[in-house]
Amino acid sequence: MNISKTMLGLAFVSSIAFAQTPKKPADSITKTNTSINKQSTEGFNKYIEPQFTAFSPTSTFLKDSVLFGLKDYHQPALIDSVWTKTLLNSELYAEMQEMVNTSPYLDTINKAVSTDTLKARLARLDAKTPFNVTYNESLESVIQYYLKRNKKGMESLMSLSHYYFPMFEEKLDKYNIPLEIKYLAIVESALNPRAKSRVGATGLWQFMFATGKMMSLDVSSYVDERMDPVMATEAACQYLSSLYDIFGDWDLALASYNSGPGNVSKAIRRSGGKKNYWELRDYLPRETAGYVPAFLATMYLFEYADEHGYQPYEPRVTYFETDTIKVKNLIKFDQITRVTNIDTELLEFLNPSYKLNIIPYIEDKDYYIRLPLVETGVFVANENLIYNYAEEANLATAEEDPLPKYYEANDRIRYRVKSGDYLGKIAEKYGVRVSKIKGWNNLRSNNLRIGQYLTIYPRKPVASAPVSSKKVKVSKSSISEKYYTVKKGDSLWSISKKFPGITVQNIQNWNDISSHKLKPGMKLKVSNG
């Protein structure tokens, strides 16, 4: 049978639940013009049917003279631009870290709330939480400081919490952990799943590489599972539970989450055996001494937001249902975007662990794509067509835009000493202390010889030899290019990851741009030459 220019309607019917989604009366649904608008895109022709009744736009593309239509029936997603902007805001992390690191120890001169009122409110919090929230001047100084700093930023965090907190609470309840621990992610990452500290702690819960590996969060050149919100939250719950089992106190569990159980144990010994956090505070590292107060101050601000006049943006949709699909072949985000009509930034937000906006396919490993529930139905109903398109698109661009090598990061490396090396230089390269390197290798002096091998457990992930896979093509990433031409589906973050050592802020500064919006064909400077 000749199927040339035959429309294949591939429909999938699904339901979706949106919290706080206003329902439209049945008699108010009107039928609109169903004429087809043709939109030409690179690689195929895409046709968009305007929305009619309760149906969504239908994405179709032309391949070998056969028009494939990817259809689905659902309510429109009510994710407005303000809410989307809040979800994708990556600047809050730096602002939150500055607040935590600059909180004063004692400064209650200019008060945003009276001491008597604060005492009464803290007493109410203390009565309903397992944390020690009793009043003291140190805690008051931090709360007063937070109340006077960056109100708009805190309102953005309160708005963003509507998306993450339901998932956090579900996981915390599963492990019988106080639900107030959800505020810890505010202090750690400002709810940015791609947040990375100066020492390499990464993700919503700021796992160091070694701790992440201990909690089964893997890192490769394509994927960093510390940035996966669900996997990282599960790991954080397991780790916090183990810390509570050690100390039997949630304040000390939080302190050890920040500085390690060893530092908390040392503080207990130095204090003469005391186990109250506020009595141990002076014996803890300075960063940890401000960590628990920052957590308690954040809890106070969220619990008494109304009393202090915080007015966070209230999204019409606070939670939307998503589902995951196990990928069967390598596929890029821009390819998924083209066939599902999902906005690229939203796709990145739902799948932050894929560092290059590419989902690899590696034998004996499972990788998943997270999509809004309805688009999940579209993808599953048409996945053979989608994978065929992705494979042909990857082959067509193999020479011009080859895929990066797939590397797995190791928690231990063998380093060969080169001319000009010395222990301090090697220690700085891998983020460890000289004493650690000497201990790992039984060195009695700082003397090294060229060709000598050292065992190192780096704080920062280090790539191992490439993993062979016929699904991932090998290429060399060039870091010598001075300019990069923006392609469809690129973002500043994905571009920065193509050039080691370059950040989003670098690209913005070198190109005098403040927005994150890019257009295909733009040339961006990617070096400081």
CATH 3.40.50.300 applies to domain 81-308: no
Model pLDDT, residue 332: 92
- Give pLDDT, residue 183: 97
Q: Check pLDDT > 70 for residue 26.
A: no
CA-to-CA dists, residue 431 to 200, 427, 499, angstroms = 9, 6, 20
C-alpha dist (Å) from residue 439 to 418, 433, 435, 452, 462: 20, 10, 6, 16, 20
Q: Which helix (H) or strand (E) holds 60?
A: strand 58-63
Interval 409-454: pLDDT, tens: 666 678 899 988 999 888 888 777 888 788 778 788 889 999 899 9
Q: In the structure, what pLDDT confidence band is assigned to residue 148 with cuts at 50, 70 and 90?
A: confident
Dihedral sign from CA coordinates of 251, 257, 262, 266:
negative
The tokens for 431 are 């983020």
pLDDT interval class at 376 (50, 70, 90): confident
Q: List the single range of 305-309, 411-415, 491-495, 524-528 with lowest mean pLDDT.
A: 411-415
Q: Is 307 a catalytic residue?
A: no
Segments of the chain assigned to CATH 3.10.350.10:
413-456
Q: Where in the chain is the domain with CATH 1.10.530.10?
A: 81-308
* pLDDT score recorded for residue 461: 55
Q: Is the pLDDT higher at 113 or at 318?
A: 113
Per-residue pLDDT, 204: 95
Joined tokens for residue 19? 């919290």
Q: Residues 283, 274: contact at Cβ < 8 Å?
A: no
For the range 250-254, what are the long-range contacts, defined as Cβ-Cβ under 8 Å and sequence gap of 24 or more?
A: 250/130, 250/131, 250/178, 250/181, 251/131, 251/132, 251/276, 251/277, 251/292, 252/277, 252/280, 254/131, 254/184, 254/291, 254/292, 254/295
Residue 95: band (very low, low, confident or very high) from pLDDT cuts 50, 70, 90: low
CATH of domain 482-527: 3.10.350
| Total number of residues shown for the chain | 529
Sign of CA dihedral 426, 431, 434, 438: negative
Rounded to the nearest 10 degrees, the angle between the axes of helix 250-259 and helix 229-247 is: 120
> d(Cα 196, Cα 505) in Å, to the nearest integer?
13
Rounded-to-integer distance, Cα 523 and Cα 500, Å: 18
What is d(CA 95, CA 102) in angstroms, rounded to the nearest whole number? Answer: 11
In this structure, are strands 66-73 and 7-13 parallel, antiparallel, or unpaired? parallel
Contact (Cβ atoms closer than 8 angstroms) between residue 367 and residue 1 = no
DSSP result, 272-297:
TS---HHHHGGGS-HHHHTHHHHHHH
Q: Which residue in the list 180, 188, 234, 375 is annotated as catalytic?
A: 188
pLDDT of residue 333: 92
User: Does residue 227 have a pLDDT over 70?
Assistant: yes
Q: Identify the weakest region by mean pLDDT among 241-255, 272-286, 368-382, 403-417.
A: 403-417
Residue whose structure tokens are 């396919």: 361
Distance CA 406, CA 220 (A): 7
Beta bridge partners of 11: 71
**CATH superfamily to which 413-456 belongs:** LysM domain (3.10.350.10)
Examine the pLDDT at 118 and tell me if it is beyond 50.
yes
